[in-house]
Structure 1
């Protein structure tokens, strides 16, 4: 279960928060709390002894999640003579994995997917990017066996939570960051220049406070730092990094017209990807993004 992973002694530590930023980070954490239902749903799906009833029990009191699950079930199975009107039928039709992803996405959307006027970045684009990276992270984790697929989904969904929260609650500062971006400055460099910290560091703090697994916290903190190419099998951080690149390459970046450098050949080799398997991954990436965009809109 994911709770056990939280206590892993080998998980790298995220960057510490400078004392002068602690009050601000604490305030932002209260303004954008992460819903515990997301963690609970992922624990249920990761537990081999759990069943569909456990999943239903975890989400049935959340109106937003229930509405999204039922809407998707009816949309995906519109040929049915009768519509799907209860959660058990929706879980049966969609499958527990898909309901899990949808439940996590819907619970996070209440915090991350706000459409109200915010900072200079396109909030809807940020949200679509997050959902696409989540879905692609899960695909990479499954195909390359680099991480737990459900944990990879959540890490991908949350990888830019710091940027989304900054755009919602630090509007003036984000506008200054955006000006530097337009002048060609790299995103985290611009953030450090304007704020003294970057969105990845803020995102790591928010997920740490929500008691998500240490590996997930580290993957968010370091997702703009290229993974080491020397030895060892890739893990969660590498998975998120590759998924982030794939989403951008497919036109769903966090910021319009912003491109990420492609992984080098050595990085791909660590994933066990050769020319044929990379082609297979690309063939899955586009339909994965299409499904993710549908999920982002429900």
Structure 2
């Protein structure tokens, strides 16, 4: 029996977690990705506390207590210090400064606090793998990562019925495989994959990766997250992002995959607003036929604003706000007309 006062969202999350446990088998990662992560010594380990926090994020909100979360985070003094610093930054802070961990978690809320901790942890992983990168590639990756995460969150909040914090985290995590592939394949990956993808809008990043490396960054990311023992409910959407297996996914997992795909398509359109990228983005957006063009614009303008707001948390370079807003609002109509618009 389910008590009358239990929220429907919590029931759904428990069901999703149970189904995930039933299907907790090793994902069918391609052998190249699995071997790369298994044998590649440069993939940095992460503190155990981050793995624990990732599992907390996969739990129903009603099971997250502030004392329990405070106890877990304070095991890592450096993470505690960074979280308090970020919570008091201009992008996040309330009118009063918070100086202790429990107050910060209370202010942010447990799920948002977990999200910030994991984002802070990923900064360290990213900085280790990006040390030899040229500035232009580094800026491209950081802006892309921020935009994918912010857009996935906005889509989850306004267009899908899935947790927005989880969607944001998936966006932050989804491109870790790019870092690993670049570190392993070196200049060949930059020249034959990233540089060509950025200069030729008809190319698709994943297809180029598969030709050059025999795998792709989503597969590698999923392999990395498995090695870190992240929960299946977080690994699976990233694994499925570039596969045609939506029908086999649980409802929440499929929704998160759609958030990731739109986040990536929007980031790629903003990087290169060519017709091919615009069409790819609109193709994904057309699923939401009952959303007007004006509502769609609001979602993606919010994503741009959020990506810029999180620059301090993710340590990403500032975005060209006016240029990105122009892409969303331009007369060329990059956002597809929905059925609502067509009926007007």
State the TM bucket, normalised to the shorter chain. Answer: 0.7 to 0.9
| In the alignment, structure 1 residue 223 sits paired with structure 2 residue 223 | no
Using a 3 Å threshold, how does the CA distance of structure 1 residues 120 and 297 change in structure 2: closer, same or farther?
closer
Residue-by-residue CA offset, 1:126-154 (whole Å, 9 max, x unaligned): 23432432233222212223433333222
Equivalent position of 1:168 in the other structure: 183
| In the alignment, structure 1 residue 159 sits paired with structure 2 residue 192 | no
Gap regions ≥5 residues in structure 2: 1-13, 317-344
CA distance in 1, matches of 2:161, 2:34: 33
**CA positional deviation for 1:291:** 1.8
CA distance in 2, matches of 1:25, 1:264: 34
Q: Paired residues, what number?
A: 287
Using a 3 Å threshold, how does the CA distance of structure 1 residues 192 and 266 change in structure 2: closer, same or farther?
closer
1:100 is aligned, of 83, 98, 114, to: 114
CA distance in 2, matches of 1:260, 1:63: 45
1:44 is aligned, of 56, 59, 63, to: 56
Residue-by-residue CA offset, 1:211-257 (whole Å, 9 max, x unaligned): 3344543432343458879xx97512111111222334455x8xxxx
**SS of the counterpart of 2:98?**
coil
User: RMSD in angstroms over aligned alpha carbons?
Assistant: 3.7
Using a 3 Å threshold, how does the CA distance of structure 1 residues 282 and 186 change in structure 2: closer, same or farther?
closer
Alignment of 1:28-177 (within 5 A): 28=40, 31-45=43-57, 46-47=59-60, 48-76=62-90, 77=93, 80=96, 83-114=97-128, 115-118=130-133, 122-177=137-192
Residue-by-residue CA offset, 1:38-94 (whole Å, 9 max, x unaligned): 3422443543132222222221132442232211232244854xx533212222333
1:190 is aligned, of 203, 208, 211, to: 208
**CA positional deviation for 1:288:** 1.4
CA distance in 2, matches of 1:183, 1:133: 20
CA distance in 1, matches of 2:56, 2:233: 19
**CA positional deviation for 1:27:** 1.8
Alpha carbons 1:132, 1:293 under 8 Å: kept: no
| In the alignment, structure 1 residue 204 sits paired with structure 2 residue 190 | no
CA distance in 1, matches of 2:86, 2:100: 12
